[in-house]
Amino acid sequence: MVSHAEPDSKPPRIVVLTAQGALSRIVVNGLAARLGPLTVISEQPESKGEILRRRIRLLGPVRAAGQVALSFALRLDPKRKARYQRVLETHRLDASPDNPAVTLHSVPSVNSDACRDLLTKLAPAVVAVYGTRLLKRATLQAVDAPFINYHAGITPKYRGQDPGYWALATGDAGNAGVTIHLVDEGVDTGAVLYQAQVTFDPRDTIATYQYVQAATALPLFVRAIEDALAGRLTPRRVDLPSQKWFPPTLWGYLATGLTRGVW
């Protein structure tokens, strides 16, 4: 991606708020390929220590340790890179870091003064969101524009993390999918714009589900952004139970894989 220190002189109609990583690059590159040049504000990642402390506070030390153990185990999977490459090639996903159609600005956090000041200067007509921290009210009110998020799960039933995995792990494959929704102050609780079911390859695992989901989500994300620009957003509420999910523990993941064949 291309980085510039100052906003372009012509206000962009679309600004993307995102984080770092391959999934974010895939989403940004996919949007740029369909919508044209984009202005992106990327936040720096939280430290592993911050993430661990929050999980301990929310879930307790044992469950948090189990989640950390799973993340290490997944990195040791000898087939991980091959699976990842297969998904990119099958779904024609672009994870490259350099895209001349993208103007990139870096901020400490999407909730920082730097991000809010930049949003104010850019004055976009719509803000697309993917993979960031939970947006606080001050950020959502920084510009008079809709904030539209892509979530790799069917909301409100599968809010939070690893939603595709949890739908499969609980025997609810019909609700393994993606949601494009308006952003509010909750965790994936905003009104729904578009949803779609996703079917996975038997070779997919928790390490690749979200890449497959991105391929289905991108056209819907583009449609929602175009709807916002045209003033035709039609948000709706979905009649499903609401639950927030967290990453599985290593022992839970192994038990589900061995008993249900969901990895």
Note the pLDDT tens digit of each residue in 23-59: 999 999 999 999 999 999 999 998 888 899 999 999 9
**Distance between CA atoms of 128 and 61, rounded to whole angstroms?**
34
CB-neighbour burial class of residue 234 (10 A; exposed 0-12, middle 13-18, buried 19+): exposed
Q: What is the pLDDT of residues 139-177, one digit of tens each?
A: 999 999 999 999 999 999 999 999 999 999 999 999 999
Contact between 255 and 77 (Cβ < 8 Å): no
CB atoms within 10 A of CB 178: 27
Q: Give Cα 143 distance to the centre of its chain.
A: 21
Token readout for 137 is 């009210």
Contact between 130 and 27 (Cβ < 8 Å): yes
User: Average pLDDT, stretch 105-131?
Assistant: 97
The confidence score (pLDDT) of residue 48 equals 86
CB-neighbour burial class of residue 209 (10 A; exposed 0-12, middle 13-18, buried 19+): buried
Nearby residues of 10 by Cβ (< 8 Å), 6 or more positions away: none
User: Average pLDDT, stretch 124-129?
Assistant: 97
Contact between 176 and 154 (Cβ < 8 Å): yes
User: Has residue 64 got a pLDDT over 80?
Assistant: yes
The confidence score (pLDDT) of residue 9 equals 52
User: Average pLDDT, stretch 207-226?
Assistant: 97
User: Average pLDDT, stretch 237-263?
Assistant: 97
- Counting every residue, how long is the chain? 263
User: Has residue 3 got a pLDDT over 80?
Assistant: no
Q: What is the pLDDT of residues 225-244, one digit of tens each?
A: 999 999 999 999 999 999 99
User: Has residue 6 got a pLDDT over 90?
Assistant: no
> Tokens 């009649």 correspond to what residue?
239
The confidence score (pLDDT) of residue 11 equals 58
The confidence score (pLDDT) of residue 260 equals 96
User: Has residue 120 got a pLDDT over 50?
Assistant: yes
Q: Who has greater pLDDT, 76 or 1?
A: 76
Query: pTM of whole model > 0.75?
Result: yes
The mean pLDDT of the chain is 94
